[in-house]
Amino acid sequence: MTNLFDLTGRVAVITGGNGGIGLGYAEGLAAHGCAVSIWGRNAQKNAAAADKLRALGGKVQTIVCDVSDRADAARATEATLKEFGRIDGCFANAGIGGGGRHAFVDRSEEEWRRMFAVNLDGVFHAFQPVVRHMVERAKGGDAFGRLVATSSMATRFGTARNEHYAASKAAINSLIAALAVEHARFGITANAILPGWIDTEMTEGLQGNDKFMDNVMPRIPQRRFGKPQDFSGIAVYLMSGTSAYHTADTIMIDGGYSVF
Ligand code: NAP
């Protein structure tokens, strides 16, 4: 019987793959024989993630990369291609949020600017050079590409329904839809995932934030909590050929209520 999720020989990039949800993606993909290139800005965390993946028998490369820097992401794309010869999927996952009690109210304009640069620009910076490579490959007869955005913009005021939050979600989803339409002819799909609440370093910081706990937490349906590992199946599915029916979808977990 055909293994619908056989990813052996496929190659995935995961930005922010050295921790949290990204590492969950990486573990699931590695366990299915997919080679993984982790782009993370912390060399030590990258090395620890690589050890975990190698223990699963996975081929792994780590690249120190700050995705808020366009040139750095372009360099990381080149380094991944040099190592593995191809990129089949890119998970734009790197993000900054949390910040505990002061997550929403005490940040300076400069801090907000830096945060947005990671959460939104980071998606463009990773996808642009990777898509260029996927399109070139498709023109050579090898049409396969998977783009997935988990990264989402942080809201300023700690309420799930404010306009800023809605506008930022719409921006990411519009980008995904536009990429999907533009690149479908090259066998490239693009999807977004909005997690509800996944226990990571980022969400840990929010537990002490009263405003968040009062305003946002009650809106997460059934107040479910997930673990990064719960996402690995989603990553495996989206990277496989089986997912070709899904393009431009926003996959919402627990209704998609999340702040980061
Ligand atoms: P996390 O545990 O904080 O992981 C985020 C990852 O991004 C870390 O590995 C972090 O590395 C990396 N990163 C941050 N800035 C970076 C940069 N400039 N360049 C490269 N890597 C960078 O967060 P998470 O909970 O796994 O969240 C992952 C993504 O899902 C984020 O985009 C977040 O907005 C989104 N999200 C999460 C939830 C949730 O419930 N957890 C809900 C909705 C959306 P460092 O250690 O170097 O910072």
pLDDT 10s digits, 90-138: 999 998 876 655 665 667 778 878 887 888 889 999 999 999 999 999 9
CB-based contact 28:232 (threshold 8 Å): yes
CB-ligand 1 contact for 206 (6 Å cutoff)? no
CB-based contact 176:248 (threshold 8 Å): yes
Atom of ligand 1 nearest to the CA of 198: 40
Which pLDDT belongs to residue 196? 77
pLDDT 10s digits, 158-174: 444 566 666 777 788 88
Inter-CA distances, 179 with 11, 20, 174, Å: 20, 26, 9
Q: Which residues are catalytic?
A: 165
The preferred substitution site among 41, 91, 224 for testing ligand 1, maximizing ligand atoms within 8 Å of CB, is 41
Compute how many other C-beta atoms are within 10 angstroms of the C-beta atom of residue 89: 28
CB-based contact 36:93 (threshold 8 Å): no
pLDDT 10s digits, 197-227: 888 888 887 777 777 788 777 877 766 778 9
- Ligand 1 mean position to 159 CA, how many Å? 20
pLDDT at 149 over 80: yes
pTM (two decimals): 0.93
Average pLDDT over residues 80-84: 98
- Ligand 1 mean position to 200 CA, how many Å? 8
Range with the lowest mean pLDDT among 65-79, 95-109, 141-155, 193-207? 95-109
CB-based contact 227:169 (threshold 8 Å): no
Q: Strand (E) positions, 117-197?
A: 145-149, 188-194
Angle, nearest 10°, between helix axes 122-139 and 70-84?
A: 40
Length in residues, the chain: 260
Q: Strand (E) positions, the chain?
A: 11-15, 35-40, 60-64, 89-92, 145-149, 188-194, 250-252
For atom 19 of ligand 1, the residue with the nearest CA is 66
Which pLDDT belongs to residue 158? 47
For atom 36 of ligand 1, the residue with the nearest CA is 260
Query: What's the mean per-residue pLDDT of the chain?
Result: 86
